[in-house]
């Protein structure tokens, strides 16, 4: 009986955290947000050298074939540093989606992700939410339609697309007929676009992918929960640091119970949420029957505590927390963006009830 991280997992987490602290400090993110797209291929290549872009990819495709819990720890570290990177879209969702498809032609893409040669964006929002007439359909190996709130597409080499509800397609980013429109969000640490497909010739269209799409969403949701958890940790650390330094009424504000209890309440939410996330990630590999429920609950729950923590940690900083100069807003906005990126809490809780047979499937 051992519910916890292994020594290897702790080392992995530490190495990613110290790499990001050194190579992508928040001042670097501040510079990147001025670029046309916040995604920087140099960071992706460096993460590949660290061995984490292929963390979920099987060894036969050049990856390290580790489990989702390992990948989630990386995701958590990325959230803690608020790093702009297509880790979620490429290393988690594309890696899981294509592995589930299991066809020979996926080899080159998986290998490219593992080596850092290839970045994937994802256009998969319509798998759980259709708005503004969005939806992509396939015919004779071509795609038409549009996908909203696509992730990391701008600078990607390929796009993974959910089409016709239960198919997965791979298209080249530069294929004729694709037009990408940047959608400005509050979150400057993620790349968000609308992607239009006009008779775009696909590299591949895979049929009968309901299961693959489900697994891809489960992995993505758990990893995103970990990302938000990482954001929360950093925000609480910053709030506690500030509360230890800032003086008012001749006292550090952290000695006031009103402030102290805000900090205690935040950490009291984070620690059990971490246990929930660990188990959700563990279940993905070790108890796949439980993963559909655990994925919904972990992301919905962490999205909820995340919103409260984002607000409270900012409030601990007082007026300075509301400025651009003070960095807390990067995490505040990253948490807010993550909240609905793969389905919001209400959608996920309804899904959680459905998978337990407590509500009729929609």
- The distance of closest approach from Cβ of residue 315 to another protein in the complex, given in angstroms and rounded to an integer, is 16
Lookup: tokens for 137: 């359909």
Nearest-angstrom CA–CA distance, 359 and 150? 29
Span between the terminal Cα atoms of the chain, in Å: 39
Binding status of residue 272 toward another protein by CB under 8 A: yes
Binding status of residue 271 toward another protein by CB under 8 A: yes
Nearest-angstrom CA–CA distance, 199 and 74? 37
- For residue 17, what are the contacts with CB-CB under 8 A and spacing of at least 6? 77, 80, 81
Binding status of residue 2 toward another protein by CB under 8 A: yes
Kindly report the number of other CB atoms within 10 A of residue 17's CB atom: 18
Binding status of residue 10 toward another protein by CB under 8 A: no
- The distance of closest approach from Cβ of residue 211 to another protein in the complex, given in angstroms and rounded to an integer, is 24
Strand 158-163 and strand 120-123: pairing? parallel
In sequence order, the β-bridge partners of residue 206 are 168
Binding status of residue 359 toward another protein by CB under 8 A: yes
Of residues 45 through 84, those in contact with another protein by CB under 8 A are: 69
Of residues 211 through 250, those in contact with another protein by CB under 8 A are: 240, 243-244
Q: Which of 117, 203, 304, 308 binds another protein (CB under 8 A)?
A: 304
Q: Are 274 and 329 in contact (CB under 8 A)?
A: no
Residue 323 vs 356, nearer CB to another protein:
356
- The distance of closest approach from Cβ of residue 301 to another protein in the complex, given in angstroms and rounded to an integer, is 4
Lookup: tokens for 283: 């279940």
Binding status of residue 264 toward another protein by CB under 8 A: yes
- The distance of closest approach from Cβ of residue 114 to another protein in the complex, given in angstroms and rounded to an integer, is 24
Nearest-angstrom CA–CA distance, 17 and 23? 10
Binding status of residue 292 toward another protein by CB under 8 A: no
Binding status of residue 260 toward another protein by CB under 8 A: yes
Binding status of residue 263 toward another protein by CB under 8 A: yes
Q: Which of 265, 308, 318, 340 binds another protein (CB under 8 A)?
A: 265
Sign of CA dihedral 132, 136, 137, 139: positive
Binding status of residue 278 toward another protein by CB under 8 A: yes
Residue 7 vs 27, nearer CB to another protein:
7
Binding status of residue 301 toward another protein by CB under 8 A: yes
Could you give the C-alpha distances from 103 to 47, 204, 354, in angstroms and in order? 26, 10, 31
Binding status of residue 350 toward another protein by CB under 8 A: yes
Element (H, E) at 161: strand 158-163
- For residue 329, the Cα-to-chain-centroid distance in whole angstroms is 18
Most distant pair of Cα atoms in the chain: their distance: 73
Q: Which of 17, 188, 282, 334 binds another protein (CB under 8 A)?
A: 282
349 three-state secondary structure: helix
Binding status of residue 297 toward another protein by CB under 8 A: yes
Residue 3 vs 102, nearer CB to another protein:
3
- The distance of closest approach from Cβ of residue 273 to another protein in the complex, given in angstroms and rounded to an integer, is 6
Sign of CA dihedral 288, 77, 321, 246: positive
Binding status of residue 267 toward another protein by CB under 8 A: yes
Could you list the residues that contact another protein (CB under 8 A)?
Answer: 1-6, 69, 240, 243-244, 251-252, 254-257, 259-261, 263-265, 267-268, 271-276, 278-279, 282, 286, 294, 297-298, 300-301, 304, 346, 349-350, 352-353, 358-359
């Amino acid at each position: 009986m051992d519910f916890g991280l292994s020594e290897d997992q702790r080392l992995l987490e530490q190495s990613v955290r110290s790499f990001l602290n050194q190579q992508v400090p928040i001042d670097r993110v501040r510079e990147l947000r001025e670029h046309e797209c916040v995604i920087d291929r140099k960071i992706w290549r460096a993460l590949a050298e660290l061995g984490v872009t292929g963390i979920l990819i099987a060894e036969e495709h050049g990856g390290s074939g580790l489990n989702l819990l390992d990948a989630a720890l990386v995701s958590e570290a990325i959230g803690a540093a608020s790093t702009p990177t297509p880790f979620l879209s490429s290393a988690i969702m594309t890696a899981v989606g294509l592995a589930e498809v299991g066809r020979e032609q996926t080899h080159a893409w998986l290998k490219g992700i593992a080596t850092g040669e290839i970045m994937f964006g994802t256009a998969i929002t319509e798998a759980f939410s259709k708005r503004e007439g969005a939806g992509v359909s396939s015919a004779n190996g071509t795609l038409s339609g549009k996908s909203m709130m696509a992730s990391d597409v701008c600078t990607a080499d390929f796009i993974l697309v959910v089409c016709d509800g239960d198919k997965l397609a791979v298209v080249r980013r530069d294929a004729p007929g694709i037009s990408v429109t940047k959608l400005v969000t509050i979150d400057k640490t993620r790349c968000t676009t609308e992607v239009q497909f006009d008779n775009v010739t696909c590299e591949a269209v895979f049929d009968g992918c309901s299961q693959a799409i489900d697994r891809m969403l489960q992995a993505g949701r758990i990893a995103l929960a970990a990302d938000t958890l990482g954001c929360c940790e950093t925000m609480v650390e910053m709030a506690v640091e500030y509360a230890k330094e800032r003086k008012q009424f001749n006292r550090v504000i952290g000695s006031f119970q009103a402030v102290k209890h805000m900090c205690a309440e935040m950490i009291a939410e984070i620690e059990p949420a971490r246990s929930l996330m660990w188990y959700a990630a563990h279940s993905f590999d070790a108890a796949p029957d439980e993963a559909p429920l655990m994925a919904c609950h972990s992301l919905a729950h962490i999205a909820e505590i995340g919103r409260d923590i984002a607000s409270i940690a900012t409030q601990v900083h007082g007026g300075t927390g509301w400025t651009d100069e003070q960095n807390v807003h990067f995490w505040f906005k990253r948490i807010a963006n993550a909240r609905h990126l793969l389905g919001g809490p209400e959608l996920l809780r309804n899904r959680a009830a459905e998978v337990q047979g407590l509500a009729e499937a929609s």
